[in-house]
A and B are shown apart, each in its own frame.
Chain A
Amino acid sequence: MPELTVNGRPLHVAVGTSVAAALALGDDGSSRTSVNGQRRAPLCGMGICQECRVTIDGMRRLACQTLCQEGMQVQSQS
């Protein structure tokens, strides 16, 4: 059971859980704010739409194609 932090809050998840799922398990599920200020959440679930891009350990990554790892720090984009 890896432990990570999502927007500063600690969270335990099952092995193989994606960061997209962790956003919903640990917070409200949203990933970013659009250019006009709307909150957005993962849409396509398969690495196409880029809606789920978040900052993981300081790098911009796609939440739906990234698996949760021990110690990972996930920050949704404000």
Chain B
Amino acid sequence: MNEHADILIIGAGPAGLNAALAAAPSGARIVLLDDNPLPGGQIWRDGPQAKLPAQARQLRNQLQGYANVQLHCATRVIARPAAKQLLVENDERGWIISYAKLILCTGARELLLPFPGWTLPGVTGAGGLQALIKSGLPVANERVVIAGSGPLLLASAATVRKNNARVVRIAEQASARAVGAFAAQLPRWPHKLVQALQLFSPSYRTSSHVLAAIGKDRLEGVRLMQQGKIVELACERLACGFGLIPNAQLGQALGCTLQGLGIQVDAWQATSLSEHFAAGECTGFGGSELALVEGSIAGLAAVGDRKAAERLWPQRAHWQGFADALNRTFALAPALNALSEPDTLVCRCEDVPFSALHEHRSWREAKLASRCGMGACQGRVCGAATAQLFGWQPSAPRPPYSPARIETLLCVDDRPPA
């Protein structure tokens, strides 16, 4: 039942798909894993209320043309039983994949920051709401407030509108000056300028952020700080995202060095561990265009075609420039670190309030004293939040990296002792 891959790729979003396509012509046996039911990552999430761009369909079709590429969807990484081996599980079984080379394309997740009422049903991530709508969540005739930071707010608003809900406000925490300076640079990336113009909305307000979600058993309204004034808006949904942060946990658990929040890579997309590469947003937030070219470089480098990989460096630099401009523009204002009341839950898995955390000095100390980060999500939400709020560095995750079945864990040693 176990499997061997010359190249194992974790994550089938833009970076992972392109890494597989770049490496496939070499004839290497490639295994591509993703924990979602379909490939495409978050940006190209398919579903009954999604319209996939032509590029996404094309990459998926190209991949199907390679007999040496095996795609496993709905499959998660659970543990690392030995060097160059990963224990994985899908809905039916667990098994071990051994590999010669690994490319991490684990993408990014939304930074979700706590504020009063954020645990109410009706409050989601901004990209989160977009993903839920694409997979069939009904929102017709609902009033939606979108708050947080970054261009994802506009993309989320577009999906909301397309599905016949009303966007009553988009609250962007960055200032008009910062957003304006960013917009002025967009002609360097003409395709992005067109996207921005298409997404622009009259409900957009800069220097505005969420103060509280209001409601008893579910969301009924939102209190915002809007350009210095407190306003309350009635709504059925609040979609809140404070930017994207790299999913670096698996890389961290394998022993890859981090740089900032992302996995550190060199010009070949190689990590600090030999034969281990990383590409796309797990190395730092940068958008799908950057992820695509990084994926190609990683795939080519993994099969030893350094000449072809090097030819893509200028393209990567072009999109890295866009990523840098984004990160400067949408840097979070300090006010967002002060939204919690003492009873605001920070760890949603273990219901740990802000008052139980703020006096601790480190993530580890807070975990030991309060169970913060010890629930089902293993600190993926509150670890990132406390990194932002208190500057704590979350520790490397320990296996199982995701909740797993006992039968899966039993795969690790099925041989009798010698």
A interface residues (Cβ-Cβ under 8 A, vs B): 13-18, 20-22, 24-25, 28-30, 34-36, 38-51, 53, 59-61, 64-67
Contact = CB atoms under 8 A, between A and B. Distances in A.
Contacts of A61: 91
Interface stretch (B135-143, B176-184, B185-193): B135-143
Contacts of B218: 28, 39, 41
Nearest to B123: A43
B138 A20 contact: no
Interface stretch (B254-262, B331-339, B344-352): B344-352
10 contacts: A14-B48, A22-B136, A28-B218, A38-B119, A39-B217, A44-B131, A46-B110, A48-B377, A53-B376, A66-B74
Contacts of B81: none
Contacts of B39: none
A21 B45 CA distance: 14
B403 interface: yes
Contacts of A67: 37
Contacts of B123: 43
Interface of B: 35-37, 42, 46-48, 74, 91, 109-110, 112, 119, 121-125, 127-132, 135-138, 217-218, 247, 348-351, 375-377, 380-381, 403, 405
Nearest to B109: A48
A49 B351 CA distance: 13
Contacts of A13: 48, 136
Contacts, number: 125
B47 A16 contact: yes
Given A38-B119, A66-B37, A46 B42 contact: yes
A21 B349 contact: no
B129 A25 contact: no
Given A45-B130, A50-B349, A24 B137 contact: yes
A46 B217 CA distance: 24
A65 B35 CA distance: 8
A59 B74 CA distance: 15
A46 to B, nearest CB: 5
A64 B128 CA distance: 10
Given A41-B121, A49-B381, A24 B138 contact: yes
B131 A45 contact: yes
Candidate in A24, A25, A35, A48 with the most chain B CB atoms within 10 angstroms: A48
Q: Chain A binding site: helix, strand, loop or mixed by DSSP?
A: loop
Contact of B135 (A35, A51, A64): A64
Contacts of A46: 36, 42, 109-110, 125, 127-128, 131
A45 B110 CA distance: 10
B122 A50 contact: no
Contacts of A66: 37, 74, 91
A21 B136 contact: yes
Contact of B128 (A15, A18, A22, A45): A45
A21 to B, nearest CB: 3
B119 to A, nearest CB: 6
A17 B377 contact: no
Contacts of B124: 41-45
B122 A21 contact: no
A16 B125 contact: no
A53 B123 CA distance: 16
Given A15-B48, A29-B121, A48-B109, A43 B351 contact: no
A16 to B, nearest CB: 5
Contacts of B135: 16-18, 20-21, 45, 64
